Amino acid sequence: MIRYQTMVTAILLLLINTRTQAQLPRADGYKGIWYTLGQFSTYGDKYSGGLGTYTASHVPMAIYAKAVNKTFFTYGGTTGPADRHLLIMLSYYDHTNKVVPKPVIVYDKQGVDDPHDNASLSIDEEGYIWVFVSGRNTSRLGLIFKSKAPYSIDDFDKVTEAGITYPQPWYVPGKGFIHLLTKYTNGRELYWSTSKDGRQWHPDQKLAGMGGHYQVSNMHNGKLYTVFNYHPGGNVDKRTNAYLLQSADMGATWTTIDGKPITTPLTDKANLALIKDYEAAGQLVYINDLNFDREGNPIVLAVISRDFKPGPNGDPREWVTMHWKNNQWDIKTVCTSTHNYDMGSLYVQGKHWTIIGPTGKGPQAWGTGGEMVQWESKDNGVTWKATRELTKNSTRNHSYARRPLHARSDFYAYWADGNADTLSRSVLYFANDRGKVFMLPYDMTTPTAKPQLITH
């Protein structure tokens, strides 16, 4: 009898554990990953600090879903302020109730501390959430996960594992996915692939291979645009030039901005996709964002530098917009900042353009990021003015302000902070379109919590 009861108890415990494990584990708050590249020079590391929303080539990292009035977002997290163990995190902001849940750990990178392995998101027409986890070269493969229920972050199935770096998945209703990615075939070369259902993918096709590239992409009315630089001799520290290609048919054909057909892959740096020859001027190009004016013309946001190393030798680091209008590229300077990796995002509402980025001097003067500032233009990007200091008197630099796809006014940009000079905790924040900044709860004891307003 005792033996029988012991067996029943064991079975019940197994069922309870099985039921408990049906959902992914939750973290007890929003703790961002801290990282240092380890490439030091006179003024510190090439980039370092709180890089939970890194890189600019992970697109999109957040998506607003109108059906449930939530903005889903991913970031690179960890377990505590002294821990550099990367966790792929997923959560959402509930616009109706103004709360966030405990974030879900979609994938444990098992000892990896590198936020190059952060994820990007996509949501299909049925509401399923797709998480594209970046790998790194061939040493760590990328992964694709699909939620088990529409608009739910509770549990995911692993769909595939493949050579994916810097994932940029775009879903087109009725057609499926077109995924822009990077492969280390001869430097960081650009590829694309398509899939009707996200499970069976066509073979990767090379888009550009001129020694290496970093790209940022976006879609407008079903047309995919990608803007990218190139790496002379495969050297990422010499990244320069700006190019743009577009495809209106899921990658079947590619053209320049003015409709000229392009044969892929691009292999010569002198080609019709060139926006500007920055190499001739000895300038470096760090691409931040890609958006569109009200006519659907692309606008590129980039930082132009003179030196890959941090410090004053690279100044002035100019924030510029490259706007296609009147059948030519119109390039305007917005402002300057102090670091090549001072990454921000561009928002466009008619004539009113907004940039949110770390252009203010931060506590780690020559480190990645700084104080978040909001810049505005009311004349289609011709003139700019700093209108709000979103953060001030910070103890840690803020960096990588990201724009959600279909961003709503009350979750307009999100980012992380971190000490660029030494290991520190990394807190996550978001801002609304009026410049109010909220801190996501670093520690949570309840299933949901309201973010804390830190500026008025």
In the structure, what pLDDT confidence band is assigned to residue 81 with cuts at 50, 70 and 90?
confident
Length of the chain: 456
CA distances from 417 to 18, 66, 139, 188, 400 (A): 37, 29, 28, 28, 9
Distance CA(310)–CA(368), nearest Å, equals 8
Q: Output phi, psi for 173, to 5 deg.
A: -55, 135
Q: Domain range holding 64?
A: 2-453
Confidence at residue 82, expressed as pLDDT on a 0 to 100 scale = 81
Question: Which tokens sit at 229?
Answer: 């630089």
CA distances from 380 to 294, 384, 401 (A): 10, 10, 21
Distance CA(341)–CA(216), nearest Å, equals 14
Tell the residue number behind the tokens 């500026």, with chain if given: 455
Question: In this structure, are strands 119-123 and 104-108 parallel, antiparallel, or unpaired?
Answer: unpaired
pTM: 0.94
**CA atoms within 13 Å, Cβ hemisphere of 304:** 22
Confidence at residue 225, expressed as pLDDT on a 0 to 100 scale = 99
pLDDT higher than threshold 60 for residue 9 = no
In the structure, what pLDDT confidence band is assigned to residue 456 with cuts at 50, 70 and 90?
low
Cα 168-169-171 angle, rounded to 5 deg: 150
pLDDT higher than threshold 50 for residue 21 = no
Number of domains in the chain: 1
The average confidence (pLDDT) of the chain is 94
In the structure, what pLDDT confidence band is assigned to residue 22 with cuts at 50, 70 and 90?
low
Question: Which tokens sit at 98?
Answer: 């103004």
Residues 156, 24 contacting (CB under 8 angstroms): yes
Which residues have a Cβ under 8 Å from the Cβ of 154 and sit 6 or more positions away?
Answer: 23, 24, 104, 147, 148
Percent above pLDDT 70 for the chain? 95
Distance CA(424)–CA(196), nearest Å, equals 43
Summarised one tens digit per residue, pLDDT across range 107-150 is: 999 989 999 999 999 999 999 999 999 998 888 999 999 999 99
What is the per-residue burial (b if ≥16 Cβ within 10 Å, else e) of 99-136? bbbbbbbbbebeebbbbbbbbbbbbbeeebbbbbbbbb
User: Residue 29 is part of a domain; what is its CATH number?
Assistant: 2.120.10.80
